Structure 1
């Protein structure tokens, strides 16, 4: 009714008063309530979650009305926790609560799109040619190829149809497989746990055709190499509920309330029971407001602070006043008692490798793998013993791979000695020191590069008759920390105020800026609490510390504190590392589905960081010599300068994988071998030796070795994680870019010796880039084909996290809008088109697959003393020993679709497993045939269980995984028991008859079952905590010693001075001086350290273009800087600024704040370049994003392989994409140019939004 009539009808509205006039009763129109009620009415509620890699994995109610999603709210029906713990809910965050905006927004991808120049070429070619020949005619013509590649990122998409895009993609794939090889078809998708069926869809397709899946955890720089080094585990961490069991928490570089919003309540709730909390962050982050103490070291110097903490803990609790608990823990669960050989030098000795049974007479009675069994001194017998649990006991024998306090011969009880101090002999041992190195922007603490310190030793006779000296890791640790033990000599400190000795609280104060008093206080409190509570001290750490070049030194520093205090594996204690949503809990059920292990093995997998470093030619612009980071104890003449050389040697040695593998199509390699009458493996080895066949990495600019087709799904590679973004645009895509850096040829720098150099680097290597997304992201803008995928409320999938023990569904509350399809349906369609197109092009082919020396397999014992590159050493390559394993895999290409949609026979024949254990799965396969039904059509899949829908795929995962099937869990624990000789099945028998189905998790979140492939327990009495089963079930860590390792003894770890943890300053990337002052705009410039933390208004790049989040924030890219730095260059809050270096440039508005430390500038990660981004003055192109100013720099120690825990595994170990050592030039912009003319950059076309055209 009209407002005027309401005024007349309700002339007198006030009826009376109550509460002493504070309230009144009224009579008025209530018609407006109908509008309100209508807005919030709904037809149904569907449970779903967000697959956004936030680690939240929160359960949400999705409201549907008239077939439309109207809004979402948090679910509150999680299974309750124990009586002594707060419940998990409320879980959620503002970002998640805004997701429904995307579904009907203008950013939503509605139809398949193809880049206009490519589509025009395709349709012209198809008039006269078959699909495969049509594609070949385009990509083989340099002019045609350049015509569409150069337009990437320039807009110009045309609406297509699913039939047409599937035909183009299939034609490109068939041509690439046939002409160049299946290992030239690659795919990138991250973090399976956030939507595991969607990941599996693309990975299954790629694996079935022999394509390459790129790793992501290392590329994202979420992988902390310290975890594999110390524990032999990728990462395993406590659930957030276990924070509540802690009595002392350090939040170190983890902004809990901002980046762990759903879990932050545990952090605040634990304070009510008296737990002390400490924040360690360089800036005044939100987490600092929630803690009792805030320490703010200079960014990048955390390792020095951690080293000082360890100095105090070791001195006070291991030497001066000995903690019985700490010492007992150290003996049982760490390598501190293990003996290390000392190598004699001119000035004394240096620490070498672990003493092994093979070094001693008669192998100390050990017949199986004696070179992999470490040695310690037994206090009971006073003799040398080989304690059970070393990696040598894992393979080749059964029953002794456990860490009971027994020796590995007769099994008698032992008590290991930590120190040889009482033996009375000591020698001077040299330790490398890096903290005195000059860096323009980081303080140095002067000191000798080689620090000589006296260490207790024992002399013994080796098997070959040589005399040798050995020391325990405990004694080496004490010396490395600079503690005076009364042995005399220099470079040791008797008190904490000696700033001249590396490791003391006074020493770290010079580097970090943290007062020695605070350092002593926190170390003392942390250790004292752990001593009294038996390990209930915890460190919550985020990705920040892992983004530096020397990331492992940062992480090993804080891990050392935890091991010294007996915290790992104890409830309420340990290492709580939270980055991406890496915990794919039902992993063993997912693996065969995702990588096609039910049909063929092994799959092709590639280390993502090395792949992008090589193929985006970032190596051509390398400025850092590896000699800069070698140990002063190393012989530099034995080591090349260029880091690509190390990567190539690592690939040849089987340490890292290769993609593409060889400089010839692997299908052709097997044909050539057959023509030569030789087995394929023998043929390859002969050809590698005579030089007629080479690894592709040796010729990165040879067109024969280019990756050709790339799929990107569930990822914004070019808008978020792509380090060296501008190099990727230039070399991979061949389009406009902001690279200002000259390559090694033009600059005259040192070039790699193992790779062929060509003067002009190849550009535009990728022939086809296909991206699946639900929104028009930066990656979509640079793709050739864009496929609209279903949102998280429009598809069926599953989601797990390390933050809680539940498994959640993504559910299709509505059908996908417009022409969107789920990832499973998209790849199923591509597989169908590929199979049909393979007829007459590809048949049943033999594909040679190279596989590195893998962790959790006997291959990790390949090189007991470090090995060498067969080619540079001049010896014959031996697969599985000094070069990759080689396997011939049969590919039935026309049957790809049938295989994609059914469960293959290898699970019946070979069983299933993970992390080195295996079990029978015949019963589960039979059950899946009953549940999903079997295939009736003739062909390879006849009689096999169907996997036609995403729910079918989810049921495969749930049925095969021990975490979701109690019968499988019991079998898995029994399989582990055969290795350890201990019965572990009691951990799963209470839930033996529990089985979780997809409909179960749609009804309510379900808690998973304990599995031997994880190191914690899902139990009603303890919260999940990593290392719990190692400590309480005596299951070894998967390391050389079987224990947590302070000491790393590989020859490369020695060469780089990283046997023990120590502070290493940030590297100098040399990208600022090259451009500073060279492109003036009239405003002053300043060089600042480039920091990219996780943001408040988005999860990675998702939500950064969401109108609700843009409204709550400043709306567009922003960069935070300190008031001090801003004043120096005349920048005020909200000014437009430019940040640039030799790698590229970006534009943003300045946020000037006193909470930011001087010398650093922060751009919160993944603010896309598609919203409010003007042109950059330095590059004359549109400003980039946070990775436009970065470039990947590899670390050789992350390439080590075939060496127990330092062996490659997909997303487990390998080179990591760091970026925080980078610096940028910051200046105020003199002109803000939006580049919004009708002829931007002379390219033509209207820059304003236009309706999507339907034809060319």
Structure 2
């Protein structure tokens, strides 16, 4: 049998990307690419600092595989200071010791007896990883994107839309997702057809962070029976919750703040001022809830039960377990007793010499130096350092594999360049390959990206008045000077970014440092800071990449916060309407004597018609598509036909079919036919029709039209798009409240040539 080594295959793949091709893809001069590559290879030690931004694009896994290739080929995978890939690795969370956490995970009952070190000093990461994969399936955490996919039909329809996903996939995306969920590769709880009924969250802000939050708010969110927010501020999500439990602020409570392995310290914070009003520490809120649940459970005689994942629960002892039979109680004394236990016995502080009164000493210093950590403790939870820790040198990663030659936690026990899982083979990603960004949200000329704001930690202080004074004070999109000039956008203009998924209106911040064709919207703005509460996440299609859902393959398994499908908030195709000049077209009623029915002529002889005096129109060219936006006044909208004598608002864009201007009031003639794009409120979609006069409208069986309509503050705003040979148009508008339909409408008396942006 003839075989080829993976290294030979890799060399073939590298040869597909000569410098000039890479320069064309990246826009970086080939000389600069070569220089960086040589400097990286020649360095005594080299590191790629990527953080979590590198995992928030559709092809992020390819980015990160490329980084791993580069580090491996240059001897920088780890095992020495200043090497490897740094992607937000953490020390083992100290609080887990209070729950009895160890290699097998913790429980509900809090600990009171002194905790010793783990029973084994070192573990085989290859074997330990298999256990963590199993725990990931059995644990209480459901990965967000698969959970949304399983439980929100409207969101699912956008996420698995084939045109938004990788065009090289040989099968529909929904086939991959169906298989992944059926195989439990991504554990979703509750499993459909059971639906989630209750949502409690403390800290996160789902309707700010989740993709398409406005859509989710009106579908999945609206279907939940009870929603409870525990937060110290009124967030977007809190405003759409049934109950808000008021937590106190960061400086009103003690706590352990940061345990990132970037620094060899545990950072703590103490209470600086007492909590305001009725707010309290989340510790107290949790214990009070547990106490009330235990009380009600005993009153109702609720028996112990087993959940859908095999976990056993007894609500009748919930408070007793959580308080360790009253050892930990509400209030400052209880909080500090728990923190004292953590600082004395956690894996990363037990050797720091704190002793009795550990919390008081830590709070006085503000930070605690990490002196020594048991190697097996470094293998658990979110830690991905995989190296022994000493105070003598900076923390570095993967020393167990590079220096000690332990097997890597992969299928092969080595760094794995070639992945022969069937889905990777189908996608052509068995080895690293370059792929262009997907058309997330449709084909549009502007690509919206994002990043972390500099004036807030996520959305915690995004609406803080003092911090808003240091910036524009409201949501902004950074756009290039070139794009702004082409679209006649001035700094601080209101612009609208729109695609197939949704739209967002915000200020323009013109910047010469932004690449043309890009719009940058930094994250974390609250929904209530936008017009109509639509944020940049409301134009996020968040397509699902099948290779991110794989399970039962060596290292490819779901692990909380480690391997699952992320939502894709940092690459969205969008159109900016500001570039399209608005033209206001006058409308007039269709002549009554032109109506083909004598009944209509008689019935409408003394009735008002043509009650829409004008329509505002903008036009954009996006690839081969003409995108039109129509806006007209409708103080009393009709959104749906729900009875025989109820008519919906509607509009149509009319084109001369053969380039010959036809009579608009009569919808053309046999010699001068017209083609019409038609939208109606409440209809499942637009349609295309041709006509050669009144009463001759014929719908096309197939068309390439897309349309969306929204009524707000007395106006309809309709966007309709499709292939068109020209922008010479007529417009018709039907007022449902006036009973207009068919030939009864307002229309432009003459053809107009639109200026296309």
Query: Is TM-score (shorter-chain normalized) higher than 0.5?
Result: yes
Deviation, 1:575, is 3.5
- 2:75 matches 1:566: yes
1:659 equivalent in structure 2: 189
Q: Deviations over 1:1153-1181 (max 9, x none)?
A: 1100001100111122334x3x3xxxxxx
Note if 1:1193 corresponds to 2:543. Answer: yes
1:1116 aligns with 2:604: no
What's the offset of the Cα at 1:606?
0.9
Q: For residue 156 of structure 2, give the secondary structure of its aligned residue in structure 1.
A: helix
1:1000 aligns with 2:361: yes
Shift of 1:1091: 0.5
Residue 796 of structure 1, aligned match among 231, 254, 274: 254
Q: What TM-score results when the alignment is normalised by the length of structure 1?
A: 0.41
Which structure 1 residue ranges, 5 or more long, are not aligned? Answer: 1-458, 460-468, 483-501, 662-695, 700-704, 734-763, 851-886, 904-931, 936-945, 967-990, 1074-1086, 1176-1181, 1244-1256
Q: Which runs of 5+ in 2 are unaligned?
A: 111-134, 380-384, 583-615, 617-630, 636-710, 715-757
- 2-structure distance, mates of 1:587, 1:648: 37
Asked if the contact 2:424–2:430 (Cα under 8 Å) also holds between the matched residues in 1, the reply is: yes
Would the aligned equivalents of 1:1089 and 1:1220 in 2 still touch at CA under 8 Å?
A: no
Aligned to 2:141: 605
Q: Structure 1 residues 623, 1042: CA separation in 2 closer, same or farther (over 3 Å shift)?
A: closer
In structure 2, do the counterparts of structure 1 residues 622 and 1034 end up closer, same or farther at CA, with 3 Å as the change threshold?
closer
How far apart are 1:959 and its partner, in Å?
A: 4.8
Closer, same or farther in 2 for the Cα pair 1:1137/1:1211, shift >3 Å?
same
Pick closer, same or farther for the CA change 1:626–1:1186 going to 2, 3 Å.
closer
Q: Could you list the per-position Cα deviations for residues 677-710 of structure 1 after superposition, in whole angstroms to 9, with x for gaps in the alignment? A: xxxxxxxxxxxxxxxxxxx1xx4xxxxx221111
Conservation of the 8 A alpha-carbon contact between 2:108 and 2:322: no
Query: In the alignment, which of 302, 318, 342 is matched to residue 896 of structure 1?
Result: 318
- Tell me which of the two structures has the higher relative contact order, counting C-alpha pairs closer than 8 angstroms and 6 or more residues apart: 1
Cα distance in structure 1, aligned partners of 2:354 and 2:236: 47
* Cα shift at 1:523: 0.8
Superposed CA offset, 1:512-533 (max 9, x none): 121222211211121122xxx2
Counterparts of 1:1101-1112 in structure 2 under 5 Å? 1101-1112=459-470
Instruction: Name the structure 1 match of 2:204.
Output: 715
The answer to whether the aligner puts 1:476 opposite 2:9 as a matched pair is yes
Q: Distance in 2 between matches of 1:1054 and 1:626?
A: 20
Indicate the SS of the match to 2:251: coil
Residue 616 of structure 1: CA displacement? 3.1
Q: How does 1:885-964 map to 2 (within 5 A)?
A: 887=310, 889-902=311-324, 949-964=334-349
1:783 aligns to what?
A: 241
Tell me: CA distance 1:1098–1:651, structure 2 relative to 1, closer, same or farther (3 Å): same
**Aligned pair in 2 of structure 1 residues 628, 1090: CA closer, same or farther (>3 Å)?**
closer
C-alpha RMSD over aligned residues: 3.3
Cα distance change on mapping 1:803 and 1:766 into 2, 3 Å: same
Output the CA distance in 2 between the equivalents of 1:512 and 1:1209. Answer: 32
CA distance in 1, matches of 2:95, 2:5: 38
Is the partner of 1:1102 in helix, strand or coil?
coil
- List structure 1 segments (4+ residues) > 6 angstroms apart after TM superposition: 991-996, 1240-1243
CA distance, structure 2, for counterparts of residue 810 and residue 1191 of structure 1 = 39
Q: What secondary structure is seen at the aligned counterpart in 2 of 1:770?
A: strand
Match of 1:1068 among 435, 439, 442: 439
How big is each residue's C-alpha offset from its partner over 1:756-798, in whole Å with a ceiling of 9 and x where there is no partner?
xxxxxxxx22111111121222122222211211111111211
1: CA distance between counterparts of 2:92 and 2:248? 21
- CA pair 515-713 structure 1, distance change in 2 beyond 3 A: same
What's 2:590 paired with? none
User: Post-superposition shift, 1:615?
Assistant: 2.3
Between Structure 1 and Structure 2, which shows a larger proportion of helix residues?
1
- SS of 1:1112's equivalent in the other structure is coil
**2-side partners of 1:1212 and 1:572: how far apart?**
23
Contact residue 164 and residue 441 of structure 2 kept, 8 A = no
Q: CA offsets, 1:1024-1071, max 9 Å, x none?
A: 112133323333321122222222232222222222111111112243
Deviation at 1:592, TM superposition (A): 4.3
Give the whole-Å Cα distance in 2 for the aligned partners of 1:657 and 1:1191: 22
| 3-state SS of 1:1093 partner | coil
Counterpart for residue 1022 of structure 1: 393
Q: CA distance change for structure 1 residues 1107 and 630 in 2, over 3 Å: closer, same or farther? A: closer
Inter-partner Cα distance in structure 2 for 1:1052 and 1:630: 14
Q: 1:1016–1:1027: 8 Å Cα contact kept in structure 2?
A: yes
Decide whether the 8 Å contact of 1:654 with 1:1202 is kept in 2.
no
* Aligned residue in 2 for 1:1150: 508
Residue among 257, 272, 278 paired with 1:819: 278
Match of 1:1203 in 2: 553
1:1103 CA displacement: 2.0
Give 1:1011-1160 correspondences, 5 Å limit: 1011-1012=374-375, 1013=379, 1014-1071=385-442, 1087-1160=445-518
Return the alpha-carbon distance in structure 1 between the equivalents of residues 295 and 417 of structure 2.
56
| Matched residue, 1:589 | 97
Change (3 A) 1:596 1:835: farther
Residues in 2 aligned to 1:1049 and 1:540: alpha-carbon distance in whole angstroms: 28
User: What's the counterpart of residue 40 of structure 2?
Assistant: 526
Q: Answer yes or no: is the 8 Å Cα contact 1:606–1:657 preserved in 2.
A: yes
Corresponding residue number in structure 1 for 2:157: 620
Q: Distance in 2 between matches of 1:773 and 1:782?
A: 13
- Asked if the contact 1:844/1:890 (under 8 Å) is kept, the reply is no
Task: Compute the displacement of 1:1072 (Å).
Answer: 5.5
In the other structure, the counterpart of 1:729 is: 217
Deviation string, structure 1 residues 244-288 (Cα, Å, up to 9, x no partner): xxxxxxxxxxxxxxxxxxxxxxxxxxxxxxxxxxxxxxxxxxxxx
Deviation at 1:585, TM superposition (A): 4.1
Of residues 1209, 1223, 1228, the one that matches 2:578 is 1228
Q: Distance in 2 between matches of 1:948 and 1:1003?
A: 17
For residue 573 of structure 1, report the CA deviation from its aligned partner.
3.1
Other structure's SS at 1:1069 match = coil
Q: Is the 8 A contact 2:160 2:544 kept in 1?
A: no
- Distance in 2, Cα, partners of 1:630 & 1:1006: 51
> Could you tell me whether the CA contact under 8 Å between 1:902 and 1:947 is conserved in 2?
no
- Match of 1:605, SS? coil
Q: Does the CA-based 8 Å contact 1:1126-1:1152 persist in structure 2?
A: yes
* Pairs within 5 Å for 1:335-734: 459=1, 469-482=2-15, 502-529=16-43, 533=44, 536-578=45-87, 583-586=91-94, 589=97, 592=100, 597-599=107-109, 603-617=139-153, 618-622=155-159, 624-625=161-162, 629=166, 636=170, 639=171, 641-643=172-174, 645-661=175-191, 696=192, 699=193, 705-719=194-208, 721-733=209-221
Q: Deviation at 1:947? A: 12
CA displacement, residues 582-612 of structure 1 (integer Å, 9 cap, x when unaligned): 6554375266479862559964221122112
Following superposition of structure 1 onto structure 2, how do residues 4-19 of structure 1 map, counting pairs within 5 Å? none
Normalised to the residue count of structure 2, the TM-score between the two structures is 0.66
Show CA shifts across 1:1084-1109 (max 9, x none): xxx31011111222222122212221
Separation in structure 2 between the aligned mates of residue 591 and residue 616 of structure 1, nearest angstrom: 34
Instruction: Measure how far apart 1:656 and its partner are.
Output: 1.7
In structure 2, how many angstroms separate the alpha carbons of the residues matched to 1:1167 and 1:538? 32
Partner of 2:412, secondary structure, is coil
Confirm or deny that 1:1010 pairs with 2:373.
yes
**Matches of 1:1016 and 1:512 in 2, distance apart?**
34
How far apart, in 2, do the equivalents of 1:729 and 1:765 lie? 9
How many Å apart are 1:569 and its aligned residue? 1.7
- How far did 1:804 drift? 1.0
